[in-house]
């Protein structure tokens, strides 16, 4: 049986206990494919090894790590898991990678709120979370492991006897698996599943179960259609700086961009914000993204004291 991620991290950081090394040796001995997988893990780790904490640049480090791991490209399950292991190890090693997390308050064990930076959280139950800019999360442990989310987060949930539940304004997501993404903004919640299973309950108490490589949408009324097949490597690419929109309304895209870059985006009267758009952006700044959208939609963007304004191309100033 493959060791837990935390054990592999300790070994990669040279902080392993003798029991850790014994468990690794059992895995390598009993699993015929384990030696090849472990060698690949070590190779990627050596290429992505963090610098000392005092000199660690969080954003550049993440960009370098993403480039070396070729994140966002479809890969076997072990490589998706390795992405988490390596990224989380970098964050734990580099104390300078700040996380704005409050302690217990109003019955919640953890409260986190992001500004312009994404945050990495290691919850008390061993679960890991990447929280998108402009998001808020609260977590507590009791009979249930409960999360309240506004914004967006990717969850890698640890195995536990207690149920892990993520609640947004529009839906309740009960975790039956491990790796999934929840987006909740503008009276709309979207869930994309990479591994395992999740059960989702909408505002009318209707339930649906997602299987890997599926996503579904809820609004304030209930489910919006049925679950759809998806490429999770695309939908879950945002922690690596990749933004992918597949047949999304323009308003949904600008909501996401506004949250990612913490800059308001508005529309000139008369622009059809329901227009469907498919686009993919990799580590681009906001002006560049808006410029590309403008070429596709015959729009241009202007900057004023309130943020960005999207207008029809050639509109009078």
Average pLDDT over residues 246-273: 88
Same domain assignment for residues 212 and 155: yes
- Burial (Cβ within 10 Å: 0-12, 13-18, ≥19) of residue 153: buried
Q: pTM score > 0.85 for this model?
A: no
Longest dimension (CA), the chain: 72
pLDDT of residue 92: 43
Same domain, 82 and 110: no
> Can you give the pLDDT at residue 236?
62
Number of structural domains found in the chain: 3
Q: Match 């009960």 to its residue by tokens.
A: 174
pLDDT, tens digit (0-9, with 9 covering 90-100), for 132-187 = 888 999 999 888 899 999 999 999 898 877 899 999 999 999 987 678 889 888 78
Structural domain harbouring 287 = 241-312
Q: Are residues 66 and 116 in the same domain?
A: no
Residues 178 and 293 occupy one common structural domain:
no
Q: What is the pLDDT of residue 151?
A: 92
Secondary structure, 3-state, the chain: CCCCHHHHHHHHCCCCCHHHHHHHHHHHHHCCCHHHHHHHHHHHHHHHCCCCHHHCCHHHHHHHHHHHHCCCCCCCHHHHHHHHHHHHHHHHHCCCCCCCEECCECCECEEEECCCCCEEEECCCCCEEEECCCCEEEEEECCCEEEEEEEEEEEECCCCCCCEEEECCCEEEEECCCEEEEEEECCEEEEEEEECCEEEEECCCCEEEECCCEEEEEECCCECCCCEECCHHHHCCHHHCEEEEEEEEHHHHHHHHHHHHCCCEEECCCCCCCCEEEEEEECCCHHHHHHHHHHHHCEEEEEECCEEEEEECCCCC
The span from the CA of 223 to the CA of 232, in Å, is 20
Q: pLDDT for 273-313, tens place per residue?
A: 999 888 888 878 888 899 999 888 999 999 887 889 999 98
121 in a structural domain: yes
**Domain closes at, from 189, 204, 234:** 234
Q: Is residue 54 one of the residues assigned to a domain?
A: yes
The verdict on residue 98 lying in a domain is no
Please report, for the domain that includes residue 288, its CATH number.
3.55.50.30
| Position 200 pLDDT exceeds 90 | yes
- Note the pLDDT tens digit of each residue in 51-85: 333 333 444 444 444 454 443 433 444 455 555 55
Residue-wise pLDDT tens digits, 251-262 = 988 988 888 788
The enclosing domain of 216 has a CATH number of 2.60.120.1440
Q: Are residue 271 and residue 225 in the same domain, yes or no?
A: no
Q: How confident is the model at residue 104 (pLDDT cuts 50, 70, 90)?
A: low
Residue 222 gets the label, from left (phi > 0), alpha (psi -120 to 50) or beta, of: left
Q: Is residue 114 part of a domain?
A: yes
**Residue where one domain finishes, among candidates 63, 93, 123:** 93
Domain-ending residue, one of 234, 268, 292 = 234
How crowded is the C-beta side of 66, counted as CA atoms within 13 Å? 16
For residue 297, the Cα-to-chain-centroid distance in whole angstroms is 28
- Note whether 127 and 197 are same-domain residues: yes
């Amino acid at each position: 049986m493959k060791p837990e991620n935390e054990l592999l991290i300790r070994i990669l950081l040279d902080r392993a206990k003798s029991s850790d090394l014994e468990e690794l040796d059992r895995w390598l001995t009993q699993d015929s494919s384990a030696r090849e997988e472990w060698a690949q893990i070590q190779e990627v780790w050596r290429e992505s090894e963090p610098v000392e904490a005092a000199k660690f640049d969080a954003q550049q480090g993440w960009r370098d790590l993403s480039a070396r791991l070729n994140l966002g490209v479809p890969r076997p399950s072990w490589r998706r898991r390795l992405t988490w292991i390596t990224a989380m190890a970098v964050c734990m090693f580099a104390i300078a990678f700040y996380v704005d997390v409050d302690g217990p308050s109003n019955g919640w064990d953890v409260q986190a709120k992001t500004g312009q930076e994404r945050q990495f959280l290691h919850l008390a139950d061993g679960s890991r979370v990447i929280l998108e800019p402009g998001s808020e999360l609260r977590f507590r442990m009791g009979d249930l492991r409960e999360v309240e989310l506004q914004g967006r987060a990717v969850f890698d949930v640890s195995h536990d006897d207690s149920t892990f539940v993520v609640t947004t304004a529009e839906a309740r997501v009960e975790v039956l698996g491990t790796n999934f993404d929840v987006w909740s903004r503008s009276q709309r919640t979207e869930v994309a599943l990479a591994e395992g299973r999740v059960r989702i309950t909408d505002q009318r108490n209707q339930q649906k179960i997602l299987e890997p490589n599926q996503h579904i949408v809820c609004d304030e009324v209930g489910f919006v259609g049925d679950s759809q097949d998806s490429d999770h490597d695309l939908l879950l690419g945002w922690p690596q700086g990749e933004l992918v929109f597949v047949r999304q309304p323009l308003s949904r895209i600008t909501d996401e961009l506004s949250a990612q870059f913490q800059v308001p985006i508005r529309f000139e009267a008369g622009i059809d914000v329901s227009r469907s758009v498919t686009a993919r952006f990799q580590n681009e700044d906001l002006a560049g993204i808006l410029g590309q959208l403008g070429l596709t939609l015959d729009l241009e963007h202007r900057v004023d004291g309130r943020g960005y304004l999207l207008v029809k191309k050639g509109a009078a100033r």
